[in-house]
Structure 1
Amino acid sequence: MPGLPVFVHYRRQDLPADLYAGLTVASIALPVAVAYAQMAGFSPEIGLYACMLPLLAYALFGSSRLLILGPDAATCAMVSSALTPLAAQQPDTYLALSALLAFFAGVLCLLAARLRLGLLADFLSRPILVGFLNGVALSIFIGQSGPLLGFTLDSHRILPRLAELADKLPQTHLPTLAIGLLTFATMLLCDRLLPRLPAALVAIIASSTAVAALGLQAKGVATLGFVPAGLPTLHLDFSHISAYELGGLLTAAAGVALISFSNAILTARSFAAKTGEQIDPDQELNALGAANIAAALSGSFAISAADSRTAVNLSTGGRTQMVSVVTAGMIALAIVFLTRPLQFVPIAALAAILMHAAFGLIDLATLRQLRQISRSELGVALLTTLGVVSAGVMQGIAIAIGLSLLRFIRITARPDDEILGRIPGVPGFHDSRRHPDAILEPGVLIYRFNAPLVFFNAPYFKHRALQACQTQTGLRWMIIDMLPLTRLDATGLYALHELKHELRLRGIHLALAGRRAELLQWQQSHAQQDWGSADHLYQTLKQALRAFQATNTTSPPLPDTGH
């Protein structure tokens, strides 16, 4: 519990800053939690439950003093997408299944932490995460268009929803739309003129006041209605789950855990870069596991990092994890004493808040940068967005993971390779394709393969090395730079052995430069294999090239540059 010493030895001088930051974060978390609960298909109090015990759990287990947890767009969209088909015919079990989904996601996070799988977050590249969040933003924007306009959308997939939206546009309820536009206008004005105020809370107060003062409920404007007061009771109900639902929940929980963790670690690292904190990925898995189990016991749904609320914590000067405790306490007080005003909150205002948040998820700047950096990675981002938009959020996750694995395999299985030469006056050896002025040593080819040499690229390595030999005539030696080969498995070593044999048939001597101690150790432990003597192994490319020159009297000696 990294947060425990903070509370045991809490400094009184931090309390004013933490109180102010906690009150500000709570004022933003309250309307946003209600809005996300509506989006995921829950009553308002369920969203508030997700902002209490999970925050306390993260304050104890998290490695970041700034990170704020709570309902977030991507996780709520995934929860809705996973539970709708499972509970379509059993609406009374929807909430029970959501708590179990959060519980299983939490357990998977704890297991992943025990196995030290925090590195898995690195497999979701920046282009894939940007594409995924762009797809989620479009999903939210389209899904909330119906409540903003005053009608419901029955379709669950995005493309059918677009068709249904176009068909129902004539049914737009103008008072509802006016409330939604008022909410938008209030948030935009707050962002521009009063950036220190919680825009979402101000917008909710303005729209709720308009509904109550003008009697808009009687004119058809939908509101939250009755919100039960009181704190959650701790329980977890397994009685309604079937074997079919269990399989679906476990699959969905894996996706929720992966995206929730990826979002949390990216947010934590982004803010840690500004404050100099050190973030432990495996500890973050522990913290997310504890927080999601706390959400499940509260009868709520899965949560993740909240970047906007974390940014508010930083900007208002929060110093310790006490900010999360204050935030949870303020939410608890609100759900006990402020539920009557919540009944006037219009659904259209919540839709406007969610759409405003969705705009913040869309990252066009990174797409423009990717267009300049790599067209292929831009294509990966756009394909991920298309997968989320066309197939749904859960299927979009599968597409994103598949694209990550394919990209990793492609990069590792077909890496760049180089034929090295010397540039006059420049120390070292350089790729002759990038440097046309590089001089190739007559009679010897220096080859570099920029990847570990393992089972799925060993045949490609051998093929490319033999192809490289055909680029020079009168070849007597081939020197392979072993430093980029950071790992060799059995298949890779066999490929080296086969290459050596084929080169010998062509009258070419194979030398290996770099990792000499590792190769000698391997040969000693596998003495029964005919891998050749130690005179084929050299510590550096320079030593190998000098050994070649010693056998070739027509070659000028290599200058001693110290490299």
Structure 2
Amino acid sequence: MASTPAGSSSAVQSSGWRKWIPGLRVLREYQPEWLKNDITAGIVLSTMLVPVGIAYSVASGLPAIYGLYATIVPLIAYALFGPSRILVLGPDSSLAPIILSVVVALSAGDPARAVAIGGAMAIVSGAVCIVAGLFRLGFVTELLSKPIRYGYMNGIALAVLISQLPKLFGFKIESSGPLRDLWAIVQALLRNQANWTGAAIGGAVLAAILLMKRFTRFPGILLAVICATAATGLLNLAETSGVKVLGTVPQGLPVFTIPAISASDLVSILVGGFAVAIVAFADTSVLSRTYAARTHMRVDPNQEMIGLGAANLAAGFFQGFPISSSSSRTPVAEASGSKSQVTGIVGAAIVALVIIAAPSLFRNLPNAALAGVVIAAAIGLFEFGDLARIYRIQRWEFWLSILCTVGVAVFGAIPGIGIAIVFAVIEFLWDGWRPHWAILGDPPQVEGYHDIARYPEASRIPGLVLFRWDAPLFFANAEQFSDRVLDAVAASPTPARMIVVSAAPITSVDVTAVDALHELTQTLARQGVELHFAELKDPVKDKLKRFGLFAELGENRFHPTIDSAVAAFRQG
């Protein structure tokens, strides 16, 4: 079941192929009174879909119309395959620097080739998400800790902001990475290349959007863009002041197209599409869980991957580019009373109508105004408040987040995401490589056995060492475990005859760890010490049986509790 009321006894599991198309179940359960809310919310939502779609398309290095194409069909696809009834998908600012880096590198300024590259990246991203969903890999984004997610998103936000500054000031630079681009922008400004009239328009749009952001249902973006377009047209600023404008948008709806790419572009497109999939699903899963909690619905993360993948495939095959969930458009749909994905379908229909009936509306839209829209979105991506909290409670994670941000800022979006993943793996291995361990004693007036470092008054039984290891046992820490056990035996106040490992935190073992345990057992035996385990979980015990260590040690060395191990020691 993809999305059901939490705790509802009436919810029925979908079976067979229908479970992969949650939209059919929503359609069966659709209540007529929802329609008015969905239509109203769809109309309000469309006031954001058009200007934002155009802005993010231009920010991604693609012609404006393709941002609207990437809005229409994906919304319909997600309505069928997505588990969330409230989520809005479409072009997103967090993906823009990733798409732009690939498009700029491969298209050589050819718009048709840029469109094909964007479409191919969407197909790759969609395929990755669908395969991951089918193989139930929806948990993978949970492997990125919150500080690491903040770090790469702050880096992407910085990259987006820097990439829009040349458009805001009305000049071009050769992109070579966010920080180097920033230096090129400063040099261009010092050479007086800026169009300050356009910059003023873009700045006014940015300020208006930020000021009106608190009014969720108010179409602040649309109003700011309309005012900028009207002022540019009425004052003829394109001719008199050299303000760069969008121009006439082609008329027509998206059609099914297989992107034509060359073999030499394939590796870059695969890498870019995979990076897009990671960022898009990380954002989508967080946003989906947030709104599922608000609406008391349960969302399957694997189905969320499939829904996101289907929407990206739809974008790729219908002249779009990679898309993600939107943390700005989704709240608009919710605040406008949306009840289901019919809201997105209504919004898509209105966007299609605008393309057909009024493409000339965008003729005088200043590029600087579009830059203002994207910069406003980039500002919304930054996370500083929670990072301040992380700095107060765990500084090394704060600096890890900063390193991820620097990685994106120095090397670009795609290498930066790779750096974030590497940091995540290192963080995971480090926690397991150097875990906490303790020698246990029996403190007075406290039940159970506890760390003698925290309870120095705890009593210890002569000849017995109680030792706790707070991590799984695997190749990276097996030698460390053996060393710490031998240290604990050596530090015993009286000659040790038995060491009992409190093994409840040990959730897994691998072959390397078992071999290390075998060697440790022999080393201890030469010292006259027996190695015992207490509270070892049955799945781990089963592994020890398969690996032969259980039979080697004997069942009498595995105790259900620490108390039973202590009792066995006292009985001799």
What letter matches 2:312 in structure 1?
Answer: N
CA–CA distance in 1 between the matches of 2:540 and 2:142? 30
Aligned to 2:208: 186
2:168 to 148, 153, 167: 148
Instruction: Tell me the equivalent position of 2:197.
Output: 175
> Counterparts of 2:68 and 2:540 in 1: how far apart (Å)?
60
> Which of 477, 493, 496 matches 2:517?
496
Q: Deviations over 1:317-357 (max 9, x none)?
A: 21112111111111111111221111111111111111111
Could you tell me how far 1:91 is from its partner in structure 2? 4.9
**Which of 37, 42, 46 pairs up with 2:62?**
42
SS class of match (1:445): strand
Partner of 1:515: 536
Rate the CA distance shift 1:526–1:462 in 2: closer, same or farther, 3 A: closer
Q: Could you tell me which of 22, 27, 31 is aligned with 1:2?
A: 22
Aligned to 2:333: 313
Separation of aligned partners in 2, 1:3 and 1:419: 56
Whether contact under 8 Å (1:387, 1:396) holds in the other structure is yes
Amino acid in structure 2 at the alignment position of 1:228: P
> Whole-Å Cα distance in 1 between the matches of residues 37 and 340 of structure 2?
9
Residue-by-residue CA offset, 1:421-446 (whole Å, 9 max, x unaligned): 22222222222223334333332111
1:557 counterpart residue number: none
Q: How far is the alpha carbon of 1:530 from its aligned partner?
A: 5.6
- The change in CA–CA distance for 1:527 and 1:147 in structure 2 (over 3 A counts) is closer
1:221 aligned partner: 243
TM-score (norm 1): 0.93
> Residues 529, 174 of structure 1: CA spacing in aligned structure 2 closer, same or farther, 3 A cutoff?
closer
Q: Give 1:523 deviation, angstroms.
A: 6.4
Q: Note the C-alpha offset of 1:249.
A: 1.2
Aligned to 2:150: 130
Are residues 318 and 519 of structure 1, via their aligned partners in 2, closer, same or farther at CA, if it must alter by over 3 Å? closer
SS of residue in 1 equivalent to 2:462: coil
Q: How far apart, in 1, do the equivalents of 2:549 and 2:440 lie?
A: 34
Out of 235, 258, 261, which is 2:257 matched to? 235
1:558 aligned residue: none
Report the CA distance shift for 1:183/1:528 in structure 2 as closer, same or farther (over 3 A): closer
Task: Please give the alpha-carbon distance, in whole angstroms, between the structure 2 residues aligned to 1:43 and 1:258.
Answer: 25
| SS in structure 2 at match of 1:12 | coil
Work out whether 1:428 is the aligned partner of 2:448: yes
Q: Among residues 261, 285, 305, which one is paired with 2:281 in the alignment? A: 261
SS of aligned partner of 2:299: coil
Tell me the equivalent position of 2:474. Answer: 454
CA distance in 1: counterparts of 2:109 and 2:360, whole angstroms: 32
Q: What amino acid sits opposite 2:505 in the alignment?
A: P
**Secondary structure of the residue that 1:419 maps to in structure 2?**
strand
Secondary structure of 1:446's counterpart equals strand
User: Hey, what does 2:571 align to over in structure 1?
Assistant: 550
C-alpha distance 83-437 of structure 1, shift in aligned 2 (>3 A):
farther
Q: How many residues align?
A: 548
Counterpart contact for 2:216–2:332, Cα < 8 Å = no
> Which of 113, 120, 136 lines up with 2:133 in the alignment?
113
Query: Compared with structure 1, are the counterparts of its residues 21 and 504 closer, same or farther at alpha carbon in structure 2 (3 Å cutoff)?
Result: same
In 2, the alpha carbon distance for the partners of 1:398 and 1:136 equals 13
Per-residue CA deviation, residues 389-447 of structure 1 (Å, 9 max, x unaligned), is 00001110110111111111111222111112222222222222233343333321111
Q: Which amino acid aligns with 2:310?
A: A
Indicate how the Cα distance of structure 1 residues 524 and 250 shifts in structure 2: closer, same or farther if over 3 A, else same.
closer
The more displaced of 416-425 and 347-356 is 416-425
Match of 1:480 among 493, 496, 501: 501
**RMSD value, Cα:** 1.9
With over 3 angstroms needed to count, the CA separation of the structure-2 counterparts of 1:431 and 1:29, relative to structure 1, is farther
From 433, 439, 451, give the equivalent of 2:459: 439
Residue 449 of structure 2: SS of its match in structure 1?
strand
C-alpha contact 2:50 2:68 (8 A) present in aligned 1: yes
Shift of 1:151: 1.7
The amino acid that maps onto 1:62 is G
SS in structure 2 at match of 1:205: helix
Asked whether the 8 Å contact 1:49–1:295 carries over to 2, the reply is yes
1:17 to 37, 46, 67: 37
Q: Which amino acid aligns with 2:202?
A: G
CA distance in 2 between counterparts of 1:430 and 1:363 reads 39
Distance 1:436 1:494 in 2: 34
Please list, as runs of the form range in 1=range in 2, the aligned pairs for 1:154-169 lying within 5 A after superposition.
154-169=174-189
Structure 2 counterpart of 1:86: 106
In 1, the alpha carbon distance for the partners of 2:226 and 2:563 equals 74
* Residue in structure 1 matching 2:433, options 407, 413, 416: 413
The alpha-carbon distance between structure 1 residues 524 and 99, as it changes in their structure 2 partners (threshold 3 A), is closer
Shift of 1:525: 5.3
Q: CA deviation at 1:515?
A: 2.8
Aligned partner of 2:316 in structure 1 is: 296
Matched residue SS, 1:35 = helix
In structure 2, the partner of 1:385 is: 405
Which residue type is aligned with residue 81 of structure 1?
S
The AA in structure 2 aligned to 1:225 is G
- Asked if the contact 1:78–1:394 (Cα under 8 Å) also holds between the matched residues in 2, the reply is yes
Secondary structure of the structure 1 residue equivalent to 2:531: strand
How far, CA to CA, are the matches of 2:246 and 2:518 in structure 1? 73
Q: SS of the residue aligned with 2:448?
A: strand
Mapped contact 2:79–2:344 kept (Cα < 8 A)? yes
Q: Of 354, 361, 374, which aligns to 1:341?
A: 361
Residue identity matched to 1:538: H
1:213-257, CA deviations, whole angstroms, 9 ceiling, x for partnerless residues?
Answer: 21212121111111012211111133xx23221122112211111
The Cα shift of 1:516 comes to 7.0
Q: List per-residue Cα deviations over 1:267-288 (Å, max 9, x = no partner).
A: 1112222222212111111111
Work out whether residues 217 and 335 of structure 2, in 8 Å CA contact, stay in contact via their aligned partners in 1.
Answer: no
For the structure 1 residues 486 and 227, does the alpha-carbon distance in structure 2 shift closer, same or farther, using more than 3 Å as the test? Answer: same
Q: Letter of the aligned partner of 2:116 in structure 1?
A: A
Shift of 1:121: 0.9
Amino acid aligned to 2:567:
R
